[in-house]
Structure formats: structure tokens, C-alpha cells
Amino acid sequence: MTMNRRDFLKVSAGTSGTLMLSLSLPGCSGMPTGYKQETGEWKPDAWLEITNNDEVHFTLARVEMGQGTYTGLTTLIAEELEVEPAAITPRFAPVAPEYRNPLYKLQLTGGSTSIATSWEPLRTVGASARQMLIMAAARVWQVDAAECSAREGRVIHPNGRDSMRYGQLVELASKEVLRGDIALKPVAEWKYIGKQGGKLDAHAKSTGTAVYGIDVELPGMVYGVVSRPPRYGARIKAFNGDELRAMPGVLDVFEIERGVAIVADKYWRARKAQDALKAEWDNEDALSLSTDEVFASYRKAAEKDSGESERSEGDYEAAVGEAGKVFEAEYSQPYLAHSTLEPMNATAWYRGNTIEVWAPTQAPDLGRIAAARVTNLSPSDVTINTTFLGGGFGRRLTQDYIEEAAAVAYRMKKPVKLIWSREEDTQHDLYRPAMLHRMQAGFEGNQLTGWHHQIIGPQLLDWYVRNAAPAQYPWAPKFMYDTLGKVGLLAEGIATPKDMSAIEGAIEYPYNVPNIDIRHTHTDPGVPVTFWRSVGYSHNGFAVETFTDELAYETGQDPYQFRRQLLVGQPRHLEVLDRAARIAGWNTPVPEGRGRGIALFKSFGTFVAQVVEAGVENGSIKVYKVACAVDCGQVVNPRIVEDQIEGGIIFGLTAALYGEITLEDGEVQQSNFHDYQLMRQYELPEVTVDVVQSSEAPTGVGEPGVPPVIPALGNALFALTGKRQRSLPLKADA
């Protein structure tokens, strides 16, 4: 992001003698927080506050769900402010325009964008505060500010002996005026950026003092559960409410839009009443597909419609017509659940003309719309308190659980904590879409001359825009919410960004091929879907890098060298590919009973190559080693980068080995970790992560570890067995 630093920094003194600095990003914000147009009064409560007793508070605009924003973003400010990161206390942001993600125009955390969008703004805030404190001290000492310096929360006199604490200077500093651009520290002076450091929230999480959504406790709180129909789209017809209300501790049983809500004085009593629920469902408008029918509908759509062209170079039709050899393949991937370790939950308290919500949400401004939908309130009457998240992976971008909690609290008029069970979390998730890919490639000799990729499946904004569009226009009356959503889809690229969810990664195909044809056939069978860790990159990575591997073997070429020769003009791709191959010992013999597979994929601006070493033991796939090279630009905290890449690798391997949500007559067949399995500790491979030292702008790391590991594992199994698997999950006996 480029911006004039003078245009977006606001400074003021708080009433208690504090220095406050606030950002207002051009084109991304409305009125600043606390701004009163009639008086011109400015009371910022955004970004950074330094108190007269040396406390430093930082308002964290991106939620913390294990990916390290709590530490990484704080480090950016600490570096320029000249304090240790641990000396800064982050606090989660309220809903306000200042905290919107500038890439999405919504206050959400996703797309591995937190560091990338905050890299310059947050450092500028820290540098601005430091400069103002230095100017204030120089005025006290009557010396030139250019001769003063800052270190460890103090301003140092030119004589090197005298100093003043930041807290002593904040009131004076708030009166200083900054002119011109603020100079940021040169790389050679960095103390924290690029250095190994622990996570600032580690102690709280280790001692149980970090508050997740499921931990929220309020006076007089009661507990709610919701029984939802087994088939998506069904509605309740009848239920034994009177019988359940007579059970111990049950306070009420009633219908809400998504099913039957049961409220009790204790959580377990609500669950016991749920066990006794006898519900009759109206399935007239309910989903009735099986998994086989979903893919049959995809194939029918693919035959009927070749799809919208998403990338076209050269003349693919002519190239394939003249090709000496043509190869074709079809790849499929199933629906996938998110399986966050903290199931969906929210606590809501309706008090007459307001409702307050405590929730682990990735999108608090969408949560505000969700709560307003099911009450008599406007979004401005809804307060969202964001907690720590026990995993997100895109699931908590959709606010159905907040909508349910608000609907129940609206009826009960007291604080209600609503918790989903693991079974409910699995069977009523919004899934990573099932997708189908049809690939074709043409060769002249061993030279790849044409590449065709047809992607068949739904788009995510079709499902997500329901609350996302109203969140962009919170002033709109509620009767316009659904209209805003429809307009957002119709005006794709204007009112909302173009939906890239089905095609991302595929259209960034990096290999040097003269004729390229990439298309998307949009079809949606009606299964609810949403974002999933690495989104479209996850399924496109499998298709692209598996087919690339197939082409190498079909032409008798080494898969690593085949990729190398196609990466003309792609130095960052080539760098990570070479590093991963070198770490894995690609040219050394593979131990008996094992195979090696390689894959390369760029996602969210980050380049990742991986080599997997795998085999089959006792009838099961065993992953022994994963060698990974990653180029994510400038690294803020190497330990967090390594952690996130390792986490993405394990997440991807879990999907490759076990991930599959299946439907029969519209009902999800999986329910818990016994039949929707996660990778266990004893199954984890040896993982080596090599991070490229780079001065490029930082990019994301929360998701890019996922896409390449899935095809790399499949390619390793092919190298071992000679049998190619084109559907996920991978099977030991395929």
C-alpha cells in the first residue's frame, strides 16, 4: 500500500494526560471514531495510546486466532516506538470504520493479509509517537530534537546521561505538530523485526487467563442450544415444547429461523432437554442431494458450459489441434469441514434498546449485522466484543452462530451463552466447496505448448454477501439488507470485489507455456459453503501441481527438473523450488519403501515449495518428512512464520489423508473426530522450514503452507506405487 503519511495520522491528548494516535486510511474509512461533526471535536480511540504512567496500549484491528497477529502487529509498533513488544498491551478493536481491512472494505481478518496491510501504517504510528516524544523532550531541554534519541521507553539527552520517561512527556508531546513524512528506522537499526521472538499471548494461553468466546461468563447468564434440521433448508413443523419446558432447569423452548432453541439454567440441562426433543421437520425445500449427485451435476454443467474465460494467452485451440501429444485428466475434491478446536459459540445480552455480544469472530462488523437482523435494533445499537479465537480457518467469517445467540437473547431478555456441540459443528458447518477440475495439455516432443484448466464449482460470495454487503453500508435500513446482497452480486467488481474464490491460484499459473486457457464453470448444488484455510488455492493447488507432475512422468522427465525449465522469468518461484529440493536431498536415493513428491505454489503473495517423503505402513499412508522453502518477503517474526507454515502443512496433510464430508439424501454423514479425523501427534512428520531472507514487502503465512503439501504427498505416493490418485482424500490401497 502506498499513501502519504501526513494524510492519515490524527493526534490528540486524552483527558487524563495521554498521547493518542489514530489512523484514518484514505478510501477505507468513514468518520473517525469519536468525531463530532457539529463541534469538530476529535477523541480518537484507535491504534495507539501512551499514558502518563508509561503504559502503552495498542488497539488490534485484526483478531488473534493462533496465527500471531497479536505478536506480529504489536512488533511493528514496538520497533519504531523503541519499546519492547512485551511492554505494549494489545486490546481487541471495537466495530468502527478505522479498523476495516483496506483490501476488503470490511473489518475482517482473513486472506493472510494482516501483516501486509499493516506493514507501513503501524510502523508510521510508532515512528510518529517516538518523534513527538523526542520533540517534547527537546523543548524541555531547549536542545535540537535531531540531537536527541529514544531507547527503551525513554528519550535520551544529547549528553547521553540525562533522559526522560515517555510517561513524563505524553501531555507535552500531544501538542507537538509533525510536518512532512515521518522517517522510519533503517533495516540496520531494527531490534525486533526479523528477529526470533516468543508470542506475546503465550503466557495467557498457557495459564488459562486468555478469554476465548467459550470462556465468557456474565452475571445471571443462562445457556442455549439449537437443534437444527438434518437437511439444509428444512423448517420445523412441530416439536414437543411443553414436555421439554417441564424438565428441570429448562427456561424456554421456541422456534428460531434456524431450528429449535432450548434455554436452561445450566448447559448440561439444555443438552439433556435437547436429547428429549421430538422434532418433525418440513423437508419440502430441503437439500436432498447425495455426494455422487453433486459431482454428476458438476460434470453435466461442464459439458453444457465451457465456462467463463479467466485467463487466455496465445491460441490454445490451435496449439492443441497441432500438438503431437495431448494429455487429459480430471481431478475432484470433496467438501471439507473446518474443525476448529473451539466449536462455534457466542454470548449475547439484550437490554431493551441495545444488545451486547461476546464472540470469537473473524468479522465483527458482519457480526453486528447478524445480530441486528434478528432483533428490533439497528447495527449502531449492537456492540460486538471480540475474544480470542480457538481457530478460525475462515469458518468464523460467517456469523450464523452470532445470529442464533442474538435471536435467543432477544427472546430471553437476559445474557445467553449459546454453544455448538462438536457434532453440530461438523454437520452444520459451511464447508470448503467440493470442486471438479478438467485438465488438458498439448506437447510438441517434450515441449509443453498448451495448458487448459476448466474449474467447475460454486463461488463463495454467493453465500457470503448476505451479511457482507450490509456491513459495508451499516446505515441502511434492515429491509434493504437482502437487496444489498443481491445488488452486490450483480455489481461484482463494482459494489463488491470480483469473486476469485474458485479460480485463485489457477489463474496465477507460473509456468512458461505459450498457449493458456483457464476457465470457470459456475455451478452451485446448494450445499452451504464458505472460506476455508487457503480457500481456492487449496483445490487448485492439488489439480495444477498433480497434473504438472503427471506431464513430467508422461514425457519421461524428472518432476523437479521439468518444473525448473518452465520457470523462465520466475526467480522467486525458482528460488524456493531449488531450496526445497536441496533440503530434501532430491537427487539422493530414497529409502526403501518410500517415495518423494514435489510441488510448488504461490498463494496470498507467498511462494512455497515442498518435498514430501511418504510410504505405506500397515495399510496406512505414512508421511515421514516434509521439506519446505518459503518466500514471504520481509519476515517480522521468523518463529511465527515457521509455526504457521508447519501448521499449514499439518492442516493440508489432514485434508489429504482424511478430509471428506459426504452427503446422503441431503444429510451430512460425518459427526465427530472418529469419522472426520484430524492428524494425531504420533502421525506428524519431520518438518523442515527454510525461510528465504528477503527485503520484498511482507506477505501472508497463515495459509500458504496448505496448497502444495497435498499434491506433493500424492506425487510421492505415485513415485512409490506408480498409481496416480486424482481424487481426495488419498487412499493407501488406491
Handedness of CA 550, 552, 558, 563 (dihedral sign): negative
Asked if residue 33 has pLDDT above 50, the reply is: no
- Which pLDDT score is estimated for 478? 83
DSSP letter string over 4-46?
Answer: -GGGSEEEEE-TTS-EEEEE--TTT-SSPTT-BTTTTB----S
**How would residue 496 be classed by pLDDT, with cut points 50, 70 and 90?**
low
Amino acid type, 385: N
Measured CA to CA, the distance from residue 403 to residue 413 in angstroms comes to: 15
Q: Report, as an integer, the average pLDDT of 698-721.
A: 98
Asked if residue 23 has pLDDT above 90, the reply is: no
- Which pLDDT score is estimated for 6? 37
- Which pLDDT score is estimated for 13? 53
Q: Report, as an integer, the average pLDDT of 62-87.
A: 97
Do residues 182 and 128 touch, judged by C-beta distance below 8 A? yes
**How would residue 43 be classed by pLDDT, with cut points 50, 70 and 90?**
very low
- Which pLDDT score is estimated for 175? 86
**How would residue 36 be classed by pLDDT, with cut points 50, 70 and 90?**
very low
DSSP character at residue 459:
-
User: From its phi and psi, is residue 526 left (phi > 0), alpha (psi between -120 and 50) or beta?
Assistant: left
- Which pLDDT score is estimated for 494? 47
DSSP character at residue 580:
H
Output b/e per residue, 117-156; b: 16+ Cβ within 10 A.
bbbbbbbbbbbbbbbbbbbbbbeebeeebeebbbeebbbb
Q: For the sheet containing 606-617, what is the strand order? A: 594-603, 606-617, 620-631, 686-691
- Which pLDDT score is estimated for 358? 98
- Which pLDDT score is estimated for 731? 97
Do residues 442 and 320 touch, judged by C-beta distance below 8 A? yes
DSSP letter string over 333-378?
Answer: E-BB----SS--EEEEEE-SS-EEEEE--S-HHHHHHHHHHTSS--
Mean pLDDT of the chain, nearest integer: 92
State pTM to two decimals: 0.93
Which of 120-129, 398-407, 479-488 has the weakest average pLDDT?
Answer: 479-488
Q: What percent of the chain has pLDDT over 90?
A: 84
Question: Which among 315, 287, 708 is positioned nearest to 515, based on CA atoms?
Answer: 315
User: How does pLDDT run across 288-336, given as a tens digit for each residue?
Assistant: 999 999 999 999 999 999 999 999 999 999 999 999 999 999 999 999 9
Same CATH fold assignment for domains 5-200 and 305-335+433-460+499-721: yes
Partners of 384 in the beta sheet? 357
Nine-digit cell string for 588:
539422493
**How would residue 473 be classed by pLDDT, with cut points 50, 70 and 90?**
confident
- Which pLDDT score is estimated for 3? 32
Q: Report, as an integer, the average pLDDT of 573-599.
A: 98
Which are the contacts of 106, defined by CB distance < 8 A and separation ≥ 6?
Answer: 100, 363, 365, 366, 468, 471, 472
Q: Which CATH number is associated with domain 305-335+433-460+499-721?
A: 3.30.365.10
Handedness of CA 626, 607, 722, 681 (dihedral sign): positive
- Which pLDDT score is estimated for 472? 83
Asked if residue 41 has pLDDT above 80, the reply is: no
Q: In the chain, where are the structural domains located?
A: 5-200, 213-284+344-419, 305-335+433-460+499-721, 461-495
Asked if residue 722 has pLDDT above 60, the reply is: yes
- Which pLDDT score is estimated for 585? 98
Do residues 340 and 393 touch, judged by C-beta distance below 8 A? yes
In 393-534, which residue ranges form alpha helices assigned H by DSSP?
400-412, 422-427, 461-472, 481-490
Of residues 203 and 30, more confidently modeled: 203
Do residues 600 and 620 touch, judged by C-beta distance below 8 A? no
Nine-digit cell string for 56:
502503552
Of residues 173 and 305, more confidently modeled: 305
Do residues 295 and 660 touch, judged by C-beta distance below 8 A? no
Which are the contacts of 542, defined by CB distance < 8 A and separation ≥ 6?
Answer: 331, 333, 707, 710, 711, 714, 728
- Which pLDDT score is estimated for 10? 57
Asked if residue 485 has pLDDT above 80, the reply is: no
3-state secondary structure of 473: coil
3-state secondary structure of 531: coil
Which of 9-13, 328-332, 566-570 has the weakest average pLDDT?
Answer: 9-13
Measured CA to CA, the distance from residue 706 to residue 659 in angstroms comes to: 13
Asked if residue 12 has pLDDT above 90, the reply is: no
DSSP letter string over 369-429?
Answer: HHHHHTSS--GGGEEEEE-B-S--TTGGGS-HHHHHHHHHHHHH-S-EEEE--HHHHHHT-
Which are the contacts of 719, defined by CB distance < 8 A and separation ≥ 6?
Answer: 590, 595, 596, 597
- Residue 103 dihedral angles phi and psi, to the nearest 5°: -80, -25
- Which pLDDT score is estimated for 11? 55
Question: Which among 724, 683, 689, 730 is positioned nearest to 710, based on CA atoms?
Answer: 730
Which of 35-44, 427-436, 658-667 has the weakest average pLDDT?
Answer: 35-44
Do residues 313 and 685 touch, judged by C-beta distance below 8 A? no
Q: How does strand 606-617 pair with strand 56-60?
A: unpaired
Asked if residue 1 has pLDDT above 60, the reply is: no
Do residues 107 and 474 touch, judged by C-beta distance below 8 A? no
Measured CA to CA, the distance from residue 560 to residue 581 in angstroms comes to: 8
Q: Is the peptide bond before 415 cis (omega within 30 degrees of 0)?
A: no
- Which pLDDT score is estimated for 544? 98
3-state secondary structure of 190: coil
User: How does pLDDT run across 250-303, given as a tens digit for each residue?
Assistant: 999 999 999 999 999 999 999 999 999 999 999 999 999 999 999 999 999 999
Measured CA to CA, the distance from residue 185 to residue 709 in angstroms comes to: 37
The CATH label, of 3.30.365.10, 3.40.50.2000, 3.30.2130.30, 3.30.720.200, for the domain at 213-284+344-419 is: 3.30.365.10
Asked if residue 475 has pLDDT above 90, the reply is: no
The CATH label, of 3.40.190.10, 3.10.20.310, 1.20.200.10, 3.30.365.10, for the domain at 5-200 is: 3.30.365.10
Measured CA to CA, the distance from residue 189 to residue 448 in angstroms comes to: 48
**How would residue 44 be classed by pLDDT, with cut points 50, 70 and 90?**
very low
Question: Which among 309, 321, 728 is positioned nearest to 546, based on CA atoms?
Answer: 728
Question: Which among 607, 512, 513, 508 is positioned nearest to 567, based on CA atoms?
Answer: 512
- Which pLDDT score is estimated for 393? 98
Q: Report, as an integer, the average pLDDT of 630-638.
A: 98
Q: Report, as an integer, the average pLDDT of 140-159.
A: 97
- Which pLDDT score is estimated for 318? 97
- Which pLDDT score is estimated for 734? 82
